[in-house]
């Protein structure tokens, strides 16, 4: 590639605005070539994941740019892929830059979800880097007429005795476009100079100093600001809107009205906010549907039509339960819960000459591009989507919706960058939630306390309605009066996740009842695994008490996977010296996420306070994710999952009335505050010779069950419905 490092970085979309941030120039290939850039620089490698340069490029100073189709969500994917590339290239990670998901630049890796980032993207980058190393050494061998054994690659340079040259000079400006093939050695398995080490994430210290730039921080010259005017309910239609006099408001630029979709654009952000308040007062809406606020949600869900399917069945489970000397049944429930992103969703869009550019914290830039193309009636190739990290984002929150809304506004106000920032009530009221679930279990124990029969029924909505090319998966589509409708059940497989226990049970049945619920929902960390594991692991605790067994040993007696057993034995060791006091208890739980990813065992120490509220004093976790890339990153992911799950279990619930959501802010949707966060201790089992496993969602279900089991240990009372603490204890009106 005959171009300078500065020019190459500019093409990939680095925009300098005070700090260095990831944006994009979003120029198409013809524009790039028109500026005298070699055509190879503009090549779209997103559909050629078998080529080395689809995953990494050598820059002018010999450093390396890694291209990942995954997004940084706080899970540390940026440092992990940098470590893996650095290891294979024997190069300091400081010399490795990472470009996140961007259409036409990075490979199309779908969504950053399901704990797949290390298992897929990082492994692809490892293979590409190893293949690049072997090719670079071969090229140097040919150039210097020396055997490869006398040549080394270190910190972006090829070295042979006193001879040194940068990788860029060796390639003479080209890029490695060869097929990856199968490298002969992976340094990440044999040397582990960087892999397996706690290489520091530079973005963490930047966050602490408030220097980290998220999509919320993007600024562009001459940028304008926007807000959306929201109706009162999901199905509201705009009846009338008196626009007279709006043009006299300070900063007013345009009111965009498309059916029942209404937005305002102003010069300054606060001007847009004030305009949205004014327009909201002028808008009249027709509401023709009500939410089921008069019936307890747990009862209402059972009345909905459901798709019933047997997910797993082995042996005569019915006979096994009926003939068991000890029989037990229990039902559990989880409500709708929020992503509750710390930073409300945000996007920037720019439209000119029939070309649309969007900066977004979406977890799937390619699926979003296809879906926006269908929504806007534009060809997908005219839309460029650049992923930029968002503040507080895990799961399918409002990122895709705000991007689509910003795009709609930009198309109707071309030539200037349009920044759309959701407000707190936008995020809380309109994001797609984690769905409510009901879990009912029956089991029979034999005389020795082993499970001889098991029956599990669960009720759930689908757990993912991510953008998939269908406009109705985007929030604004339902208000455009084009008959897009709303998404249906969505991804049923998310509901089924971890519904079959990982334990050895000879006779069992698992049955799903998939409904379409009253609230908007989509993928939230763990999807159905959170509810399923909470139910299964709470029930396992109940069975252990019925059998008169230690809850950890009871689980071990139903396992033959040594890795699972090791996690449980280690978690028992961590709590061996804990002596709960009065009104205190210890609870345990275990799962293997998706029954194929990370193993995780957890313990929780809970205390019942004088006011009757339960508090988590400490939590312990043991996680086995196979080969560990960055132990600090893995610990951070696990700790965060444990704390988040404990907050869900103790105090989180989406509440609504007949019209819409009433959990509109932090006062009415209370999450853990800093003083409530327990001490957390995590042990990582590093298995170098195993493949790395997905870990980002492994902690959710077991942690909630461990908290509930600890509450039982403390009080002798079994709490089966979440949240355990009454939400009313936390609700308070916001201060004026």
pLDDT digits (tens, 9 = 90+) for 354-365: 999 999 999 999
Q: Mean pLDDT lowest for which of 149-163, 561-575, 590-604? A: 149-163
What pLDDT score does 212 carry?
A: 72
The pLDDT confidence band at residue 637, using thresholds 50, 70 and 90, is: very high
Answer yes or no: are the C-beta atoms of 434 and 278 closer than 8 Å.
Answer: no
Q: What is the mean pLDDT of the chain?
A: 90
pLDDT digits (tens, 9 = 90+) for 722-734: 999 987 777 766 5
What pLDDT score does 33 carry?
A: 26
Domain assignment present for 736: no
Q: How far is Cα 439 from Cα 332, in angstroms, rounded to an integer?
A: 5
Residues 262 and 306 in one domain: no
Residues 542 and 656 in one domain: yes
What pLDDT score does 36 carry?
A: 24
Q: How far is Cα 56 from Cα 572, in angstroms, rounded to an integer?
A: 44
Domain assignment present for 309: yes
Higher pLDDT, 145 or 29: 145
Q: How far is Cα 624 from Cα 645, in angstroms, rounded to an integer?
A: 19
Q: Quick check: 19 pLDDT over 50?
A: no
Between the CA of residue 728 and those of 653, 663, 673, what are the distances in Å?
10, 12, 16
Enter the DSSP assignment of 240. E
Outline where DSSP puts E strands in 535-649: 584-592, 599-608, 614-624
Q: Quick check: 449 pLDDT over 70?
A: yes
Q: What are phi and psi of 343, to 5 degrees?
A: -105, 115
Domain assignment present for 478: yes
Q: How far is Cα 555 from Cα 92, in angstroms, rounded to an integer?
A: 44
Q: Quick check: 7 pLDDT over 60?
A: no
Outline where DSSP puts E strands in 133-219: 152-154, 157-160, 163-166
Enter the DSSP assignment of 415. T
Q: What Rg, from alpha-carbon coordinates, does the chain have? A: 27
Question: What would the DSSP string read from start to end of 640-705?
Answer: HHHHHHHHHHHH----B-SSSB---STTTSPPPPGGGPPEEEEEEE--TTSPP---TTTTHHHHHH
Residues 187 and 302 in one domain: no
Residues 35 and 144 in one domain: yes
Average of pLDDT values for 134-142? 95
Average of pLDDT values for 240-255? 93
> Percent helix, strand, coil in the chain (nearest 5)?
35, 25, 45
Return the residue matching tokens 């029979």.
444
Q: Give how many domains the chain has, as a whole number.
A: 3
What pLDDT score does 734 carry?
A: 58
Residue 546 half-sphere exposure toward CB, CA atoms < 13 A: 22
Average of pLDDT values for 483-499? 90
Q: What are phi and psi of 66, to 5 degrees?
A: -95, 135
Q: Quick check: 24 pLDDT over 80?
A: no
**Would the CA dihedral through 202, 203, 206, 207 be positive or negative?**
negative
Answer yes or no: are the C-beta atoms of 389 and 72 closer than 8 Å.
Answer: yes
What pLDDT score does 463 carry?
A: 92
Q: How far is Cα 487 from Cα 471, in angstroms, rounded to an integer?
A: 9
For residue 498, what are its two tokens?
A: 């971890």
Q: How far is Cα 3 from Cα 171, in angstroms, rounded to an integer?
A: 12
Measured from the Cβ of residue 341, the count of other Cβ atoms closer than 10 Å reads 23
Residues 445 and 414 in one domain: no
Residues 445 and 407 in one domain: no
Q: How far is Cα 36 from Cα 340, in angstroms, rounded to an integer?
A: 47
Looking at 193, 208, 223, the residue that finishes a domain is: 208
For residue 632, what are its two tokens?
A: 């600090």
Residues 553 and 673 in one domain: yes
Strand partners, 442: 329, 455
Strand partners, 58: 64
Domain assignment present for 292: no
Answer yes or no: are the C-beta atoms of 584 and 606 closer than 8 Å.
Answer: yes
What whole-number percentage of the chain has pLDDT above 90?
Answer: 81
Looking at 377, 394, 429, the residue that finishes a domain is: 429
Residues 325 and 361 in one domain: no
Strands 224-228 and 418-421: parallel
Looking at 389, 411, 429, the residue that finishes a domain is: 429
Strands 19-22 and 14-17: antiparallel
The pLDDT confidence band at residue 47, using thresholds 50, 70 and 90, is: low
In degrees, to the nearest 5, what angle opens at C-alpha 200 toward C-alphas 196 and 206? 155
Contacts of residue 185, defined as CB under 8 A and 6 or more positions apart, other chains included, come to 130
Q: What are phi and psi of 540, to 5 degrees?
A: -60, -35
Domain assignment present for 691: yes
Q: What are phi and psi of 152, to 5 degrees?
A: -130, 160
Answer yes or no: are the C-beta atoms of 529 and 701 closer than 8 Å.
Answer: yes
What pLDDT score does 35 carry?
A: 26
The pLDDT confidence band at residue 393, using thresholds 50, 70 and 90, is: low
> HEC profile for 5-33?
HHHHHHHHCEEEECEEEECCCCCCHHHHH
Average of pLDDT values for 546-570? 98
Domain region containing 615? 297-337+433-729
Domain assignment present for 525: yes
What pLDDT score does 10 carry?
A: 40
What pLDDT score does 256 carry?
A: 97
How would you list the strands of the sheet with 152-154, edge to edge?
A: 152-154, 157-160, 163-166
Q: Quick check: 342 pLDDT over 70?
A: yes
Average of pLDDT values for 131-156? 94
Q: Quick check: 22 pLDDT over 70?
A: no
Q: Quick check: 115 pLDDT over 70?
A: no
pTM above 0.85, yes or no: yes
Q: Quick check: 617 pLDDT over 70?
A: yes
What pLDDT score does 114 carry?
A: 63
Average of pLDDT values for 372-390? 96
Q: Quick check: 320 pLDDT over 80?
A: yes
Residues 49 and 144 in one domain: yes
Nearest to 621 by CA among 532, 695, 708: 695
Residues 698 and 551 in one domain: yes
Residues 108 and 188 in one domain: yes
Strands 96-99 and 64-67: parallel
Domain assignment present for 734: no
Q: Quick check: 14 pLDDT over 70?
A: no
Nearest to 614 by CA among 731, 732, 713: 713
What pLDDT score does 429 carry?
A: 96
Q: Quick check: 213 pLDDT over 60?
A: yes
Q: Mean pLDDT lowest for which of 224-228, 321-325, 463-467? A: 463-467
The helix/strand/coil state of 363 is: coil
Enter the DSSP assignment of 733. P
Q: Quick check: 376 pLDDT over 70?
A: yes
Domain assignment present for 584: yes
Nearest to 688 by CA among 730, 628, 617: 628
Strands 64-67 and 56-58: antiparallel
Q: How far is Cα 17 from Cα 469, in angstroms, rounded to an integer?
A: 33
Q: How far is Cα 357 from Cα 404, in angstroms, rounded to an integer?
A: 11
The pLDDT confidence band at residue 735, using thresholds 50, 70 and 90, is: low
Question: What would the DSSP string read from start to end of 493-546?
Answer: HHHHTT-S-SS--SSEEEEEEEE--SS-B--BTTTHHHHHHHHHHHHHHHHHHH
CATH number (domain holding residue 172):
3.30.365.10
The pLDDT confidence band at residue 23, using thresholds 50, 70 and 90, is: very low
Return the residue matching tokens 């069945």.
313
Measured from the Cβ of residue 628, the count of other Cβ atoms closer than 10 Å reads 28
What pLDDT score does 173 carry?
A: 87
Residues 365 and 306 in one domain: no
């Amino acid at each position: 590639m005959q171009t300078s490092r500065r020019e190459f970085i500019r093409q990939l979309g680095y925009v300098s605005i005070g700090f260095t941030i990831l944006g994009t120039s979003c120029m198409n290939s013809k524009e790039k070539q028109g500026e005298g850039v070699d055509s190879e620089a503009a090549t779209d490698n997103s559909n050629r994941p078998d080529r080395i340069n689809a995953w990494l490029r050598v820059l002018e100073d010999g450093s390396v740019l890694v291209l990942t189709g995954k997004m940084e969500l706080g899970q540390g994917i940026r440092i992990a892929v940098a470590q893996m590339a650095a290891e294979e290239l024997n190069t300091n990670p400081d010399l490795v830059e990472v470009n996140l998901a961007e259409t036409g630049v990075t490979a199309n890796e779908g969504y950053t979800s399901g704990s797949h980032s290390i298992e897929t993207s990082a492994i692809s980058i490892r293979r590409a880097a190893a293949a690049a190393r072997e090719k670079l050494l071969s090229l140097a061998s040919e150039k210097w007429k020396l055997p490869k054994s006398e040549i080394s690659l270190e910190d972006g340079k090829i070295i042979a005795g006193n001879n040194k040259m940068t990788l860029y000079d060796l390639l003479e400006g080209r890029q490695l476009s060869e097929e990856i093939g199968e490298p002969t050695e992976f340094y990440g398995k044999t040397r582990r100079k960087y892999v397996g080490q706690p290489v520091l994430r530079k973005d963490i210290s930047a966050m602490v100093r408030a220097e980290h730039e998220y999509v919320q921080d993007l600024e562009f010259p001459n940028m304008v600001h926007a807000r959306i005017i929201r109706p009162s309910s999901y199905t509201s239609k705009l009846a009338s809107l008196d626009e007279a006099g709006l043009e006299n408001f300070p900063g007013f630029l345009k009111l965009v009205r498309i059916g029942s979709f209404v937005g305002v654009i102003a010069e300054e952000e606060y001007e847009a906010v004030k305009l949205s308040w004014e327009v909201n007062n002028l808008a009249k809406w027709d509401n023709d549907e009500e939410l089921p606020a008069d019936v307890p949600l747990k009862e209402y869900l059972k009345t909905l039509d459901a798709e019933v399917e047997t997910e797993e069945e082995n042996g005569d489970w019915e006979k096994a339960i009926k003939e068991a000397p000890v029989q037990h049944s229990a039902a559990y429930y989880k409500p709708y819960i929020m992503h509750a992103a710390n930073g409300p969703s945000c996007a920037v869009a720019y439209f000119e000459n029939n070309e649309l550019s969007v900066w977004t914290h979406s977890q799937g830039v390619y699926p979003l591009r296809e879906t926006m193309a269908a929504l806007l009636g534009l060809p997908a190739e005219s839309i460029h989507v650049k992923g930029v990290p968002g503040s507080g984002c895990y799961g399918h929150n409002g990122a895709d919706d705000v991007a689509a809304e910003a795009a709609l506004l930009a198309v109707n106000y071309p030539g200037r960058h349009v920044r759309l920032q959701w407000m707190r009530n936008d995020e809380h009221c309109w994001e797609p939630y984690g769905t409510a679930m009901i879990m009912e279990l029956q089991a029979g124990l034999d005389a020795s306390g082993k499970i001889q029969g098991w029956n599990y029924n669960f009720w759930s909505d689908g757990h993912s309605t991510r953008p998939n090319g269908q406009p109705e998966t985007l929030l604004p589509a339902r208000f455009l009066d084009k008959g897009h409708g709303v998404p249906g059940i969505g991804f049923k497989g998310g509901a089924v996740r971890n519904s079959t226990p990982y334990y050895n049970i000879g006779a069992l049945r698992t049955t799903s009842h998939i409904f379409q619920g009253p609230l908007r929902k989509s993928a939230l960390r763990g999807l159905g695994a959170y509810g399923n594991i909470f139910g299964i692991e709470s029930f396992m605790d109940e069975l252990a008490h019925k059998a008169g067994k230690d809850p950890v040993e009871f689980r071990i007696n139903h396992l033959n996977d040594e890795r699972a057993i090791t996690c449980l034995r280690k978690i028992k060791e961590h709590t061996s010296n804990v002596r709960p006091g009065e009104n205190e208890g210890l609870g345990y739980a275990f799962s293997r996420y998706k029954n194929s990813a990370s193993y995780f065992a957890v313990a929780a120490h809970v205390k019942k306070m004088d006011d009757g509220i339960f508090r988590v004093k400490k939590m312990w976790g043991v996680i086995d994710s196979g080969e560990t890339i960055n132990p600090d990153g893995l610990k951070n992911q696990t700790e965060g999952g444990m704390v988040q799950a404990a907050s869900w279990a103790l105090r989180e619930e989406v509440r609504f009335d007949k019209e819409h959501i009433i959990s509109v802010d932090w006062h009415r949707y209370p999450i853990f505050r800093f003083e409530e966060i327990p001490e957390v201790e995590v042990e990582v089992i590093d298995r170098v010779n195993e493949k790395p496993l997905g870990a980002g969602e492994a902690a959710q279900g077991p942690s909630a069950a461990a908290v509930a089991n600890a509450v039982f240990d403390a009080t002798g009372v079994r709490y089966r419905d979440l949240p355990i603490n009454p939400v009313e204890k936390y609700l308070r009106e916001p201060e004026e």
